[in-house]
Amino acid sequence: MRLIVGTRGSKLSLIQTESVTQRLERICRDITVETKIIKTAGDSNSSLPLLSIKQKGIFEREIDRMVLRGDVDFAVHSLKDIPTDQPRGTAVVAVPKRDSPYDVLVSNHNLPLERMPFGASVGTSSPRRMVQLYRARPDLRVKPIRGNVETRIRKLDENLYDAIVLAEAGILRLGMRDRITQRLPLMEFMPSAGQGALALVTRKDNKKLISILERVNHPASMAEAQSERTFLDKIGGGCKVPLGVIARAAGRTMNLHGCMFSPDGRVKMEIHRSGDAARPKELGASAAADMMKLGATSLISSWRNL
């Protein structure tokens, strides 16, 4: 049986996709997978700041449309990049075992965050990371940065920044562990929903293919993803709102930590909840409802009005 997988053409995307296809071919000996590279809106607008692009899912939508049309059988995405309102008819049907959800600092002279010079420049295009950096070091100059991981590190090496913040999982997959200066504390630099996890997306009605793709699913990682994405979906706010969330499955229990910030970073709204690991969406929804009771709506409004 021959399958076609759709993916972006970046080195990281290809490595992530290959890790999935190789495992599928090992498990299902009668399957061969061909990779089809697809250029997305995010790749075409690589010079624009992310927050200036109004379209959601700029790295995934076009690939998922090709899944719906049958041009490719399935797609491999970084889960954190997938909007919760996926194109109708598609679904995340498998999440392989999750890698590190942490953010890391990559800096010139290998200086950790607390030892960087006063007023040092740090590159990130994530509002979540931006606010968390300011809370840790109010003196920093946080500057936008675009491009894939290698491009961002090249800009750092060209001294356009003193440091950059990246997802640890991506750096490890690229074999660039030696570039990591510091793993940032999880509760102070809470990740985006699904960070560190991959997602396999296909058509909801393709039951035969779903049964095949589910063979690479890691149940605990899928449960964590469902809890975090439900939390994100119920709160809303879009990519402009700095919201962090991390769920951890521990046996039959799931622990979820979530946070939001005011635009000036002075207010941090935080919530910790535990629930049944077999009902991850329920935990995510319950935690989101409690966050809304704390005043999340007012924080979302303050960001939308910027």
CA dist 91 and 69 (Å) reads 14
Architecture of domain 1-98+197-217: 3-Layer(aba) Sandwich (3.40)
Instruction: Please say whether the beta carbons of 303 and 239 come within 8 A.
Output: no
Q: Residue 96, CB half-sphere, CA atoms under 13 Å: how many? A: 19
According to the model, what pLDDT value does residue 265 have? 82
According to the model, what pLDDT value does residue 259 have? 94
According to the model, what pLDDT value does residue 236 have? 82
According to the model, what pLDDT value does residue 87 have? 87
Show the DSSP H helices in 188-306 as ranges: 207-213, 219-235, 280-294, 296-304
User: Is 103 a residue of the active site?
Assistant: no
Architecture of domain 103-183: 3-Layer(aba) Sandwich (3.40)
According to the model, what pLDDT value does residue 306 have? 66
According to the model, what pLDDT value does residue 199 have? 97
Fold equal for 103-183 and 219-306: no
Residues of the chain with pLDDT under 50: 44-45, 48, 50-53
CA dist 22 and 24 (Å) reads 5
According to the model, what pLDDT value does residue 256 have? 98
Kindly calculate the radius of gyration of the chain based on its CA atoms and give it in whole angstroms. 19
According to the model, what pLDDT value does residue 238 have? 64
Q: Do the bridges between strand 253-261 and strand 243-250 make them parallel or antiparallel, or are there none, so unpaired?
A: antiparallel
Write down the CATH number for the domain with range 219-306.
3.30.160.40
- From the list 64, 81, 99, 162, the catalytic residue is 81
Q: Where are the domains of the chain?
A: 1-98+197-217, 103-183, 219-306
Q: Element (H or E) spanning 105, and its range?
A: strand 103-107
261 CB-contact burial (10 Å; exposed 0-12 / middle 13-18 / buried 19+): buried
Helix count and strand count (H, E) for the chain = 10, 13
Q: Which residue, 32, 13, 9, 4, is CA-closest to 169? A: 13
Instruction: Please say whether the beta carbons of 166 and 152 come within 8 A.
Output: yes
Q: Which residue, 295, 196, 279, is CA-closest to 237? A: 295
According to the model, what pLDDT value does residue 52 have? 46
Instruction: Please say whether the beta carbons of 251 and 277 come within 8 A.
Output: yes
According to the model, what pLDDT value does residue 48 have? 46
For Cα atoms 59, 64, 67, give the angle at the middle one, nearest 5 degrees: 145
According to the model, what pLDDT value does residue 53 have? 43
According to the model, what pLDDT value does residue 166 have? 98
